[in-house]
């Protein structure tokens, strides 16, 4: 196979295809996940993580693939729920150990490992359960803040239980805070159970409008990442260009090592030779662990929210008509525009038309698009101006002809790398001299985001031939006006 290609399945007996040097090179080119930032102690801290629901196909996957996410939630005192799809009874043949006995062993190992991660709760804060809590392999559901749920689905057969697994993920999500992040294996991780969990999590996230991130485990053993994460790389079903990294700080590395050590049944052969392994070879070999447990945890943020579902359920999902924040943001956006009048404006992702209504007062012609038909219907009811055209379209449906105003408001962080790259290219091609692109984005973390507001600002300012015409920032938002070089407002109006 060529770099970037992916094997259909991985049974554990193959030699890892990715050498350490190649993985280091790949990791070095993966952008840090924009929903968080690194603090003074080198710890990755998400700005806002209401809760975390981790879907684990087998006991140990939650540590191998999602330790950094669990650590971030624990450090932030966010509730964590581990959904154990199977008890991992397929790791050893029943001739060497009864399945029910293996299930209890592996469950206890998982609970011990999670207690290690739970030790990352910041010191000086009262821990759930009170001062009498001493840690250890106890039932995690007894402690507020972290819960482990056993679904007891058959190991190795999750592909035929995707529907019930989807329902279970939804049921586990419902009592958790709004905005809880679902973390599940990559849908193309290469193990049938992992792929099934990824498929089910994607379905559940769509049904419940929940943010999703997928984590790889076996991917690194059977597939070589491409040399670059170019958006044009399309040969693999793995969305390599969407990869994001979370740094593993020294404290987490130590705790993660202790957590992995808890899985004794997978690290040795005391219970007999595992399935699909050579005699005397454990499930988790030293080579496998070195390949998977690197200095960065690579994750793949999932598809954005179901915007159609959001608008179908609520007339105003973003509080456009009720929040002073939104009304103020729109006023600041319009005030930042250097020209009093524009000829042809393009506003993708217009939602219910809050900003569109103001644009019609400053533009001869406005094209407003959205991927949600419900949003466009609401926008059409809100905006009756004759100089606006509403169109049901995605960001790929870029208008023909030149533009003198492009409005990218609360949109760029939802676009994949390839989509965002295409937007920058098309905007540079169609924005005429004297025209402007205005970018307006929320600064706080967003688990559905591919990039932060700061990333968007930096990338817009780096477009060749463009300059910054103005900007505004506060703790909540960034507004930037960029485009081809042109005179300032005063120069254009009265300065010589």
Q: Output the tens digit of pLDDT for each of the chain's 496 residues.
A: 344 444 444 544 555 666 778 888 899 988 888 677 888 888 998 877 889 999 999 999 999 999 999 999 999 999 999 999 999 999 999 999 999 999 999 999 999 999 999 999 886 544 443 333 333 333 454 444 799 999 999 999 999 999 999 999 999 999 999 878 999 999 999 899 999 999 999 999 888 878 889 999 999 888 888 875 444 444 567 888 778 899 999 999 999 999 999 999 999 999 998 988 888 899 999 988 999 999 999 998 875 556 766 767 777 887 888 899 999 999 999 999 999 999 999 999 999 999 999 999 999 999 999 988 888 999 999 999 999 999 988 787 899 899 999 999 999 988 877 678 889 999 999 999 999 999 999 998 776 777 889 999 999 999 999 999 999 999 999 999 999 999 999 999 898 6
CATH 3.10.580.10 fits 20-303, yes or no: no
The whole-number pLDDT of residue 125 equals 45
Q: Report the run of H or E that residue 114 belongs to, with start and end.
A: helix 99-118
Beta strands at 181-185 and 80-86: parallel, antiparallel or unpaired: unpaired
**Contact by Cβ (8 Å): 245, 32:** yes
Separation CA 450–CA 356 (nearest Å):
25
* Highest CATH level, class, for 310-493: alpha beta
| Cβ neighbours for 481, distance < 8 A, ≥ 6 positions apart | 336, 337, 338, 436, 437, 438, 439, 468, 469, 470, 471
User: Beta strand 146-153 with 181-185: parallel, antiparallel or unpaired?
Assistant: unpaired
Beta bridge partners of 84: 56, 150
What separation in angstroms does the CA of 96 have from each of 152, 269, 270, 271, 277? 20, 11, 10, 7, 14
Give the pLDDT confidence score for residue 231 in this predicted structure: 40
Q: What is the pLDDT of residue 251?
A: 96
Give backbone dihedrals phi and psi of 344, rounded to 5 degrees, phi first: -140, 115
Would you state the structure tokens that stand for residue 413, as one six-digit string? Answer: 């962080």
* pLDDT at residue 72, as a whole number: 94
**Sequence ranges of the domains in the chain:** 20-303, 310-493
- Longest C-alpha distance within the chain, in Å? 91
Confirm whether 20-303 and 310-493 share one CATH topology: yes
Which residues, 6+ apart, have CB-to-CB distance to 433 below 8 Å? 484, 486
């Amino acid at each position: 196979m060529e770099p970037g290609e992916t094997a259909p399945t991985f049974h554990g007996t193959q030699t890892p295809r990715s050498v350490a040097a190649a993985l280091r090179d790949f990791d070095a080119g993966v952008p840090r996940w924009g929903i968080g930032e690194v603090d003074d102690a080198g710890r990755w801290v998400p700005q806002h993580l209401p809760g975390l629901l981790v879907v684990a196909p087998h006991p140990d996957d939650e540590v191998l693939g999602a330790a950094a996410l669990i650590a971030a939630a624990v450090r932030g005192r966010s509730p964590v729920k581990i959904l154990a799809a199977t008890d991992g009874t397929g790791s050893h043949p029943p001739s060497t150990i009864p399945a029910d006995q293996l299930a209890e062993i592996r469950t206890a190992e998982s609970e011990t490992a999670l207690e290690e991660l739970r030790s990352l709760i910041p010191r000086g804060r009262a821990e759930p359960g009170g001062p009498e809590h001493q840690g250890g392999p106890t039932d995690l559901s007894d402690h507020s803040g972290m819960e482990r749920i056993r679904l007891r689905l058959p190991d190795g057969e999750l592909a035929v239980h995707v529907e019930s697994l989807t329902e279970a993920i939804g049921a586990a999500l419902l009592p958790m805070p709004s905005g809880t992040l679902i973390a599940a294996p990559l849908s193309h991780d290469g193990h049938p159970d992992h792929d099934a969990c990824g498929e089910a999590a994607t379905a559940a996230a769509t049904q419940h409008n929940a943010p999703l991130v997928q984590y790889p485990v076996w991917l690194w053993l059977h597939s070589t990442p491409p040399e670059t994460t170019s958006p044009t790389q399309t040969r693999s079903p793995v969305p390599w260009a969407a990869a994001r990294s979370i740094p593993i700080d020294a404290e987490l590395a130590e705790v993660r090592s202790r957590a992995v050590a808890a899985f004794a049944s997978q690290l040795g052969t005391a219970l007999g030779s595992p399935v699909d392994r050579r005699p005397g070879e454990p499930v988790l070999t030293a080579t496998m662990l070195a390949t998977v447990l690197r200095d960065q945890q690579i994750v793949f943020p999932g598809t954005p929210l179901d915007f159609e579902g959001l608008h179908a359920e609520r007339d105003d999902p973003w509080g456009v008509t009720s929040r002073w924040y939104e009304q103020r943001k729109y006023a600041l956006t319009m005030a930042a525009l250097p020209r009093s009048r524009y000829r042809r404006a393009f506003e993708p992702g217009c939602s219910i038309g809050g900003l569109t209504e103001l644009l019609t007062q400053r533009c001869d012609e406005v094209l407003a698009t959205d991927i949600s038909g419900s949003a466009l219907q609401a926008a059409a009811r809100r905006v009756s101006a004759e100089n606006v055209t509403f169109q049901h379209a995605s960001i790929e449906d870029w208008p023909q002809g030149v533009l003198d105003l492009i409005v990218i408001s609360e949109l760029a962080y939802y676009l994949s790398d390839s989509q965002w790259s295409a937007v920058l290219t098309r905007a540079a091609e169609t924005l005429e001299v004297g025209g402007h692109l205005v970018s307006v984005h929320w600064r706080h973390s967003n688990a559905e985001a591919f990039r932060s507001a700061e990333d968007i600002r930096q990338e817009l300012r780096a477009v060749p031939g463009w300059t910054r015409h103005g900007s505004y920032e506060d703790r909540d938002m960034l507004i930037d006006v960029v485009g081809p070089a042109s005179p300032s407002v005063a120069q254009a109006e009265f300065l010589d």
